[in-house]
Structure 1
């Protein structure tokens, strides 16, 4: 066993590397499984250790092919990875439906195990049950068909979003208001037109700064139409198959099946939580919306509502006029290279880490950077930062696992995949970068345990976002920002500007919460009701929860990628935020780097991985169960 980082392939050798790694990993797993079936070890701990090695081998294949399927520049490599994903998922389904293998684990005596090993046994047995191991042959065969088809649908759904980059062609006069650096990066073509894509570095500035309302609307509509119409039928099939799977293994619906292994516990608790957040945010939403409409009506007299084609622009105007915050001035302090270095310095100081650049690390694209991560003299892992958009690449922001860290066996390796500007960044994108890096550092710090199942970001899925949401606070602190946010002359961002930015950011949080509940409701009810007309169902939920009306002719759900990964559980972003606000309350706002509290948080929450229930991790850190109070107070202020 080696604790060296993976040796990744050169660009042109990636397909062969993927094929070899997939074949070797599956072969090793099959050999270990055969030994468990035919001659399992006598000791329960040894049985679990063998099974953990199976998980490590399969997880290594899945992680690599999932990453390259989303980021590799060559289409043939992405297609090879997607085929390998299907093969691995098929084998995992077969394993979890293997009655003989299940009997090996069911016969183990948990009293002979330490608490974490006993937890692993419990989770493993639950995996078998949820896969239908005790059902008849025909039902298990149908479950296998469903799982394989769901994998293929998920890939196609994501691919449609990733590849559907739309372009709006505009004369330069319709882009008045855009920052000069943005205009410089978007010259006119031979026909005198500017190409504006739906990628974030194009679309977000246009929707935020373009004075021309028709321009904002045209770009917004193009953005909302990504993935349509091809994803409509795919999603309806996905929801139907998930429902059938849940029914076959004894659950009322997919949301109940999915919630059974999350903090929330039950499916019906999801709409209860959604409505609770909707109710508590109703007052702040109305307050903020009135301010937004008041400003909008100065330009559009008599307007009764404002939709998302205009809300981003007018939100920026309100922040400028009421809080003296000009986002175009703000962005001059956030040069991408400085932000990236500042992020490493801030998180290094907070968590006691050191990042060493690896200039000669093989990477899949020239813009990817690699760093080895150390705690003192101990190497914890390697991280890769892939932070700019390109053709064929994943279009959102996420942390991808490359290898799970295991003490003495394997270094943690993770990849941050985002789509930020190569020049000046919006502050909101700086916050996103801190958020996503929170997942990456969580993955690395939780990579010194014994078990693959509990390594990395392995907590319940509705807690996963909480540590990252809490890390966003460091991107709002004036002293933190002044350590790296400097303008072209080297002047740090003024502290009073950061204070105004924070005050301005509070504007809109009420209707932001309601918008999130619209997304969460869509995620839940699409899975439980399985409407035949997704556009109509989306419109009804938008009317019920969102402060912003539907834009005629758009189909936002078709590019709502979280319907794939988060499925019925998009509520988890707000559930996690409730916990994040409580966690942050333990830190001293005047000393965010205080070593005692930072170290306790690092060791008791992040480094623990999935070795305990998330509620217990939080209680270990706070000294009490988590509470709704901090979130409610933040929302109301």
Structure 2
């Protein structure tokens, strides 16, 4: 398996011999083995009496770190993807031990001193960046504190890791279901009925999987059904995660106090592009001002449409928005979403996205014989000039026990001449026809995958993670543009008869594209406020329901829906902490990156290669601001994105 053989050199023509079927006892045994090996390597590095140099310290450290993380990534993937609960449990236990090892590493004063002894004079810029990155990481983790405080910080981080893991696992396990009469699904496309057959009592089972809920929110005429499904989704894991999140907030606040910060938001901003909470507040205020007028206009349009259906209606609720927006697009833009979706069958979308990356970046991608963890998982090898440069896996459809959102998971970091990058996309798409928005999500996640593979071709194995955390979404958000491009869509978007999506239909899609944009951004800023404000305070005595209600009443264009507990199933409150603003921040960077493509051509090969070589491949070797500057020839600004929002797209 990739994790076990991570330290073994790979040739350019083979991929790692992955195995995902180890018994739980073997997972546990191997867990102890690779963690003990890593700790021994770090001890040897620290106790080396030779004069410290970049090669003797940082090259060795990167080798050890890459080997360790490869194996930890493997366990973390299995925790979120394996079909066997016992294997998931064993992998979860191992991942938690791995996080504890990393927490201990951040408190290792002797290692920090060894790194600090490395002279940077005369070092290449990427090496100097690596030295400064790690010194900054240690310093922001409290390495300057006394031994007792460092031990307390390590213990607090271990508690946080365990709580965060429980929070995420509760969400994965909370797949709720309801049964409804088939006639209540009026308005849904025929393929939805085909994939959700009624039982002998005429009842259809609806789960909280996105492939079940999103078509209902968009097409179901039955308003009470839309509400019922929305409430089911927003109340996932509420019993389990309310106490977990409360404790997570408390432990993170205590960590911040140990580090000498006012709150966890301040701690969480270290190592980001924004650097401090005040800049987040300034940024979100700028976007809120930009969308103020468009939000009022779009809300009025939704209400007017609602009143055509119900003259007595006084307001639009959140579960009405997608349905009403779809009607408006049909009437005002002559865009039929059901017509659109017939051109986006999963298999064709997958092949089209792969072909797009081949064209843009001069790659060849072929099915791989690499082992997988489920029969539905698809493996692919990535070649450049007949040289294997990576492998990826597509785990695209929902199943019990699996991660319920959409994300890229690393499996193996790449290190030039030693290992090849491997990554997986865990997604939850239908097996047949997809909404165009789901195609956009697919390409977004695929952008993360390309980023992982291209960044895994240099001498620093850990480089993909040596970047500001609020930059990581920008490359993927930029890539979403291609699913609106006719020259791209015509290559794979065909209906059951093989007819290519009409250019006129794509033009209608683009004309209707920005309707609802302001409301969408307002919703994103609501989530941003929920994330940021939860952590930008002392959580003592917090009432999560009251807090969520206050946030939604102040920021959401639809207000708070009584009886919902979104915080319980909002996984980003663990992984992103206070940093959900990252999505809008990354959107502003993506708008700037895209400006060069729009000027030179979305499919211009030189622009694409520059983007790959200057941004994606160089991640973790210089600051994100420098990466963007190298590609654009100038510094980026959030003004272009704010202006676009203020103009309603």
TM-score (norm 1): 0.97
Residue in 2 aligned with 1:136?
A: 146
Contact 2:398 2:404 in 1 (8 A): yes
Q: Does 1:385 align with 2:394?
A: yes
Comparing 124-133 with 445-454, greater Cα deviation is found at 124-133
Task: Classify the secondary structure of the residue corresponding to 2:277.
Answer: coil
Are residues 458 and 126 of structure 1, via their aligned partners in 2, closer, same or farther at CA, if it must alter by over 3 Å?
Answer: closer
Which of 457, 468, 472 pairs up with 1:464? 472
Residue in 1 aligned with 2:326?
A: 316
Aligned pairs (5 A) from 1:114-263: 114-263=124-273
Residue 77 of structure 1: CA displacement? 0.9
Which of 410, 426, 429 pairs up with 1:420? 429
Residue in 2 aligned with 1:71?
A: 81
Aligned pairs (5 A) from 1:431-442: 431-442=440-451
Contact 1:44 1:112 in 2 (8 A): no
Q: 1: CA distance between counterparts of 2:505 and 2:50?
A: 64
Which of 386, 407, 412 pairs up with 2:416? 407
Which of 47, 56, 74 pairs up with 1:38? 47
Structure 1 segments of 4+ aligned residues over 3 angstroms from their partners: 14-21, 588-591
Q: 1: CA distance between counterparts of 2:343 and 2:377?
A: 23
Comparing 17-26 with 113-122, greater Cα deviation is found at 17-26
Residue 463 of structure 1: CA displacement? 1.1
Q: Does 1:93 align with 2:103?
A: yes
Task: Classify the secondary structure of the residue corresponding to 1:540.
Answer: helix
Are residues 16 and 344 of structure 1, via their aligned partners in 2, closer, same or farther at CA, if it must alter by over 3 Å?
Answer: farther
Contact 1:72 1:364 in 2 (8 A): yes
Residue 240 of structure 1: CA displacement? 1.3
Residue 190 of structure 1: CA displacement? 3.6
Q: 2: CA distance between counterparts of 1:520 and 1:157?
A: 19
Q: 2: CA distance between counterparts of 1:585 and 1:40?
A: 52
How many aligned residue pairs are there? 634
Q: 1: CA distance between counterparts of 2:37 and 2:50?
A: 18
Measured on the aligned residues, the alpha-carbon RMSD in Å equals: 1.6
Contact 2:408 2:426 in 1 (8 A): yes
Residue in 1 aligned with 2:520?
A: 512
Unaligned runs of 5+ in 2: 1-7
Q: 2: CA distance between counterparts of 1:373 and 1:166?
A: 37
Q: Does 1:272 align with 2:279?
A: no
Q: 1: CA distance between counterparts of 2:26 and 2:425?
A: 21
Q: 1: CA distance between counterparts of 2:638 and 2:535?
A: 27
Contact 1:21 1:61 in 2 (8 A): no
Residue in 2 aligned with 1:52?
A: 62
Which of 588, 596, 610 pairs up with 1:578? 588
Which of 376, 383, 400 pairs up with 1:374? 383
Comparing 281-290 with 512-521, greater Cα deviation is found at 281-290
Q: Does 1:18 align with 2:27?
A: yes
Task: Classify the secondary structure of the residue corresponding to 2:101.
Answer: helix
Contact 2:266 2:536 in 1 (8 A): no
Comparing 208-217 with 124-133, greater Cα deviation is found at 124-133
Residue 325 of structure 1: CA displacement? 1.2
Q: Does 1:299 align with 2:325?
A: no
TM-score (norm 2): 0.95
Contact 1:436 1:468 in 2 (8 A): yes
Task: Classify the secondary structure of the residue corresponding to 1:355.
Answer: strand
Q: 1: CA distance between counterparts of 2:442 and 2:52?
A: 46
Unaligned runs of 5+ in 1: none
Residue in 2 aligned with 1:481?
A: 489
Task: Classify the secondary structure of the residue corresponding to 1:296.
Answer: helix
